[in-house]
Amino acid sequence: MLMIFKNPAYDFIGKRRWAYAVSIVVMLVGLVSMYVKGGLQYDIDFTGGTLVQVRLQRPLPIAEIRTRLVPAGLGESIIQIFDDPRDVLIRTQHSADNATELSQRIARALDPGGDAAPEVRRVESIGPQIGAELRLQALYAVLASLGGILLYVWFRFDFRGGVVTIISLAHDVLICLGMLSLTNREFSLTVLAALLTVIGFSVNDRIVMYDRLREIQKAGASLKGITFAQQVNLAVNQTLSRTVLTVATVAMSAGMLFLFGGQSLESFGFVILVGAITGTTSTVYVAGALDVDWSAWADRHRGRQFPSGGQGSARRTKAVRSRASQ
């Protein structure tokens, strides 16, 4: 295996307070953005309505397009111009029984003189009830994935590891949603798929780190005088090269999708890129750090001091060894 770092000994866990502060600030900025903007901007798949893509005979500014749509009662539509300024995407909350009729109404509104009719390239229509059902199904999909991960990590390692893993994954999802809000991107089915991909990618980092922690704890005699925080820090350092290589590969692929994937894949690549970065940092500064703080809190709560890392970490070591021997 290619090793970028040889015998790294960075004090990641020791800097966890600063990482907590940075994570909280980033999440708050995203949440404030969503609050100020009235929530996320949902794609037509989740809101219902009609999407019409047209190619104009000549480019028009968005303000002029909106002015022409007002007489047709479509002035509140969301208007987006592609790289080719003649290609225009119009999203409206109006759901027509006949989507073709609505597209023709838009075409007539954009060409009031009748001498430069735009070409209608795509028409999609989704009812509001279907959009509401999709939003609910999206929520169920995310919750189901988190629940399955909790059960797996709980069975494979312990309950505390499962809980802090779920907290760290929620941290990753919130940051991705906040970045969508800050960059004015829509939440679509493609973005939902990207979020589920981020969850899967992020939990993989946690599993690798916990596996290495279990190997360290199985060492037995070498644990004398080593606290649980030092064990976690050692596990993170020993998997650092693997983590960096994996993230670099994912980031390069996501970057290519973001830059060259076109309108349909740009948001997918953006979310994967953000999730790869935040998912890796949260493995150390959320999952690992919370595990250490939870263990320390449990020890203080019991009112005892243990030189080997506390009663909480000692119990975890015993539990992990028991699982490993099965």
CATH for the 13-41+131-324 domain, from 1.20.1640.10, 3.20.20.140, 3.40.50.720, 3.90.45.10:
1.20.1640.10
**C-beta of residue 294 within 8 angstroms of C-beta of residue 161:** no
Instruction: Spell out a b/e string for 314-326, using b for 16 or more CB atoms within 10 Å of the CB, else e.
Output: bebbebbeeeeee
**What pLDDT sits at residue 1?**
47
DSSP state letters, 19-60: HHHHHHHHHHHHHHHHHHTTS-EE-HHHH-EEEEEEE-SS--
CA distance 120 to 240: 52
CA distance 124 to 120: 11
**What pLDDT sits at residue 177?**
92
User: Helix H segments across the chain?
Assistant: 16-36, 44-47, 62-69, 99-110, 128-156, 159-182, 189-217, 228-238, 240-260, 262-282, 289-302, 310-324
Residues 6+ apart with CB under 8 A from 83: none
The residue assigned the tokens 């430069």 is: 116
Q: Where are the domains of the chain?
A: 13-41+131-324, 49-125
**What pLDDT sits at residue 308?**
44
**What pLDDT sits at residue 25?**
93
**What pLDDT sits at residue 99?**
67
**What pLDDT sits at residue 224?**
65
One-letter identity of residue 147: G
**What pLDDT sits at residue 122?**
81
Q: Backbone phi, then psi, for 201, in 5-degree steps?
A: -65, -45
Query: Taking Cα atoms as reference points, which of 180, 140, 137 lies closest to residue 268?
Result: 180
Q: Which CATH architecture has domain 49-125?
A: 2-Layer Sandwich (3.30)
CA distance 306 to 292: 14
> Mind listing the pLDDT tens digit of every residue in the chain (326 residues)?
455 666 777 777 888 888 888 889 999 999 999 989 888 887 776 776 777 888 888 878 888 888 888 877 777 777 777 777 788 888 777 665 566 777 778 887 787 666 667 878 887 776 656 666 777 888 888 888 888 888 888 888 888 888 888 888 888 899 999 999 998 888 888 888 888 888 888 888 788 888 888 887 777 545 566 777 888 888 888 887 777 788 888 888 888 888 887 766 888 889 999 988 888 888 777 878 888 888 778 777 765 544 444 444 445 544 444 444 44
**What pLDDT sits at residue 97?**
57
Angle between helices 16-36 and 159-182 in degrees, nearest 10 = 50
The residue assigned the tokens 């929520």 is: 139
pTM over 0.95: no
**What pLDDT sits at residue 107?**
81
One-letter identity of residue 200: G
